[in-house]
Amino acid sequence: MSPDQLFLICNFVVLPAWLLLAIVPHHRITQLLVHAIWMPLLLGPFYVWALFFGEPAAEGAGFGSLQGVMLLFQSPTAVLGGWIHYLVFDLFIGAWIVRDAKRQGINHWLTVPFLFMTLLAGPAGLMLYLMLRLVLKRSLTLIEAA
């Protein structure tokens, strides 16, 4: 299977999860598919393959400098690995936003734009949700009650 095919598969795998988070965040299916461990377990093997068994990186590639990272991401499989990394972590943050909003008593429909932003630009979506949370709840802590 080519990196292009895996890219499309991974994208199509996460999009239904985002729709579930936005439309039926607390439904049993969403709980089973998104708030559980299935997405990281499903996409994890593709990530491992892309990073460790894909095309070798250029000489000098690594995480020690911006130039090294740029060389690392000249490989299509390394870029695929990075993309899968974003897909999994952004979805994890989106699921956390939904659970946190419920704990905080924030209306779910207020979070939907921030979920969309998290899908497109993870850290920006999280930052904007946290700003909403700060305005509505005056809460600076991320501690979750047990």
Assigned token pair, 55: 């095309």
What is the Cα–Cα distance from 97 to 23, expressed in whole angstroms?
A: 14
Q: Which long-range contacts (CB under 8 A, 24 or more apart) does 2-5 make?
A: 3/50, 3/54, 3/76, 3/77, 3/79, 3/80, 4/76
Q: How many domains does the chain have?
A: 1
Contacts of 91 (CB under 8 A, 6+ apart): 14, 17, 18, 34, 39
Residue 35 within any structural domain of the chain: yes
Would you tell me the crossing angle of helices 76-104 and 122-137 to the nearest 10 degrees? 10
- For residue 15, being part of any structural domain is answered with yes
pLDDT, tens only, 100-138:
999 999 999 999 999 999 999 999 999 999 999 999 988
| Measured distance between the N- and C-terminal CA atoms of the chain, rounded to whole angstroms | 43
- Domain contains 146: no
Q: Taking the CB of residue 98, how many other CB atoms lie within 10 A of it? A: 25
| Cα→Cα distances 135→106, 111, 132, Å | 11, 13, 5
- Which residue range forms the structural domain that includes residue 12? 3-137
Express as a percent the part of the chain with pLDDT over 70.
99
Per-residue model confidence (pLDDT) at position 99: 95
Query: What are the per-10-residue average pLDDT scores of the chain (146 residues)?
Result: 91 95 96 90 92 84 90 90 95 96 96 97 96 90 70
Cα angle at 144 between 128 and 82, to 5 degrees?
Answer: 55
In a domain, 48, yes or no: yes
Q: Does residue 22 belong to any structural domain of this protein?
A: yes
The answer as to whether 115 is a domain residue is: yes
